[in-house]
Chain A
Amino acid sequence: MTALAAGCPSGLAPPESGGLAQDPSAFVTDAGGHKALDILVRGARCGGCLSKIETGMSKLPGVQAARLNLSTGKLRIEWVGPLAPRRIIETLVGLGYGAAAYDPGDADAAHLKEERSLLIALAVAGFAAGNVMLLSVSVWAGRDMPIETRTLLHWISALIAVPAAAWSGRPFFRSAIASIRARRLNMDVPISLAVILALSMSLFETARGGEHAYFDASVTLLFFLLIGRFLDARLRRRAYAAANALAAMNTATATRLSSGGIAEAVRAVDIRPGDSLLIAAGERLAVDAEVISGVSECDLRMVTGEVEPVATFPGQILHAGAVNLSAPVTVRAVAAADRSLMADVARMLEAGEQKKSSYRKIADKAAEAYVPRVHALALLGFVGWLVAGAALPHAVFIAVTVLIITCPCAMALAAPLVQVVAAGRLYREGAYLASGDALERIAAVDHVVFDKTGTLTLGDPVLLVGEVSDDAIERAAQLARASRHPFSRALARHAGVGLVARDVREYPGQGVCGMVDGRHARLGTAKFVGAPASAGSELWFAFEGAEPVAFRFEDRIRPDARLAIDQLRAMGISAEILSGDAEERVAHAAQVCSVSQWTSRATPQSKAARLEALQQAGHKVLMVGDGLNDAGALAGAHASIAPGGAVDVSRLASDCVFSGDSLEAVVRIVDISRKARSHMRQNFAFAAFYNVLAVPVALAGLATPMVAAIAMSGSSVVVTLNALRLAGRTGRARAVQP
């Protein structure tokens, strides 16, 4: 390997400094000696990274293929022989990239398949639309064309359009049938109806040598609509992959102890109730488990929101998300369902899911208002022309042209295109939407509830300076560097790189002792160092021949939390804090963020109940939280947002996940959602206006195929342009290609 600087050689991304979070061997697939591993690589940006990583990988013994997908950051390695998977990750980290093994899973492949089939359908519809339009333009232009030639051109159009529409229209037909079965109307019903009617009527007209055939309208309509569908599918896949990548960087594998005492790495999904697991210091628990042996402390901030670590004891139940701090413990996995907290969370998630599925999207509301009216108008036209003395075929022709020209091309594109553009803009800003209608729900909120730990705060304690001398900090840091306790780590982070004390011993739940500058020193609880007992986030340091001193810590509030809350307030959204942490810390956070309404020591149930009460009072609540204790509230809220570091359950329960340390992301998400909603409304207003103009024309029998083609394409283009305005000035060119 050449002596390259760590990380991206073009300097497009800073080198990643990641410790080894996990043992990747659980993710290796082994087919008769041929092993393969999928890894998510973070920080690879350019061709230099590509060759650096692939060259580096192929130099490892036994590696046969290493291919990095620069667009997705996924690296696949295939090798034979005894190469340890850990070496692969270590090599990547050594090159200066972040690396995490992951399970490719079925969901990803299913998304990709859907996207591909939509793209093929789009290509077929595009081919048909282009060629049929070519033939149609000839018919419209050649007014003196013999009837035989015109009929021949119509037959050729039919030969292209009918199979193409039958094939590429399947996504719409399927959705329309499903919607009718559920006794609801969605936009796909009038679309399918218009396509089928237009084709049937055109075939009939062609067979009797008539002048007007709408083959071009039906395939062009499908072509436009498929563009929207495809972009939507692609964006959803990317957002899903990005949110998963955030999760992959956090998930850890577990170490399972077999009956013979042999430790093996397994994926969290492979753990069965009753398995014995070894949880090393610093490791995050992947499943709920009961402590069997070992004395340690656990950081439960992800579970309860409490910052203060708790001591563990045999028989204690720990929930997924707890981080073991000071010493290894052995635990036994328990089934998630048989313990109250998880069962309650699951129940709350289900209740929230039901509530969300009953939400009616703007587009569905529009469809339900629109479809009966248009169909009634078509019927009116049919009856009217019959009464006026027209022949039956002509009356049918009028009714069908009404359905074709009002065919909700613009209506159907109005919402999805805006959603695609808005979601693309959010994607570029590091926020990943779970669904399109999340935008509508986020746009409607008027009250926001924040969790404190990990949401308003950064989640890591920070040393409060100014009360102790630098000398004491430097000495204490020598002990702190040897410990995994969050306070010790905060102290070590503050002091920076330096010496480590000798003869260090750690007493779980109490502290560490060792030799500093040749003298005895102790760092830990007040009791451990022999100081008067006191409460609060403190760490005591006793140095031989000196009075014990206390270090105080705080869970630092995100620097822009106050600003974000002020901005939300300016947008007419009131804020509230709902935390599981102790009263004084919540009060402090509320004061710093200038929030007057706060609740401390909230349980998952009381959080969900508070949200229910707020919504009963008529508020549309946005929940922002990350812990297991927030999951029920996230699912039950009108809309919800989770930071990227959230536990899996909470991430999945949320409508949107944002990455990065800045809470301003929440403001951006709400802002873009509101803009998206107003653009959607503009689009619907325009589509309705278009129909008001088009329907009389069709009813009067003036809607020739050429008028229909121009009107439908024109309205679709206007709606598309209006949606693209949302992309923002910088992102306009890449609006749909994040």
Chain B
Amino acid sequence: MNVLVFMIPAALALGGLGLAAFIWALRTGQFDDPQGDASRVLQDDDRPI
């Protein structure tokens, strides 16, 4: 059972990392225009926008 001492903190840390990443993405407005972002990725870059 000693392995729990490493496994539980590791699991929590990884989960916390995901949570932090999500909150960061939300705060920087990355979910503000899902439709537009989906289209933008297909746009040609060889023309100045």
Contacts and interface: CB of A to CB of B under 8 A. Distances in A.
Partners in one complex: yes
Contact of A70 (B4, B12, B22, B36): B36
Nearest to B22: A123
B36 A71 contact: yes
Contacts of A134: 11
Interface in A154-168: 156, 160
A50 B36 contact: yes
A420 B40 CA distance: 30
B39 A47 contact: yes
A116 B33 CA distance: 14
A149 B42 CA distance: 53
Interface in B1-23: 1, 4, 8, 11-12, 15-16, 18-19, 22-23
B49 A124 contact: no
What is the size category of the interface that chain B forms with chain A?
A: 20 to 34
B32 to A, nearest CB: 7
A58 B48 contact: yes
Nearest to B1: A149
B37 to A, nearest CB: 8
Main secondary structure of the interface of B (DSSP, over half): helix
A559 B47 CA distance: 48
A149 B7 CA distance: 14
B35 A71 contact: yes
B25 to A, nearest CB: 10
A156 B1 CA distance: 15
B38 to A, nearest CB: 8
B26 A69 contact: no
B39 A50 contact: yes
A58 B49 contact: yes
A69 B32 contact: yes
A254 interface: no
Given A69-B32, A127-B16, A134-B11, A50 B23 contact: no
A70 B49 contact: no
B33 A71 contact: yes
Contact of A71 (B27, B32, B49): B32
A104 B2 CA distance: 57
Contacts of A127: 15-16, 18-19
A614 B7 CA distance: 70
B14 to A, nearest CB: 10
A711 interface: no
A597 interface: no
Contacts of B18: 127
Given A54-B49, A127-B15, A127-B16, A68 B26 contact: no
A120 interface: yes
Top 9 A-B pairs, shortest CB-CB distance: A47-B39, A70-B36, A69-B33, A70-B35, A71-B35, A127-B19, A71-B33, A50-B39, A51-B43
Given A50-B39, A131-B11, A149-B4, 10 more contacts: A50-B43, A51-B49, A55-B47, A55-B49, A58-B48, A71-B33, A71-B36, A119-B26, A123-B19, A127-B18
9 contacts: A51-B43, A51-B44, A116-B26, A119-B26, A120-B23, A123-B22, A130-B15, A131-B15, A149-B1
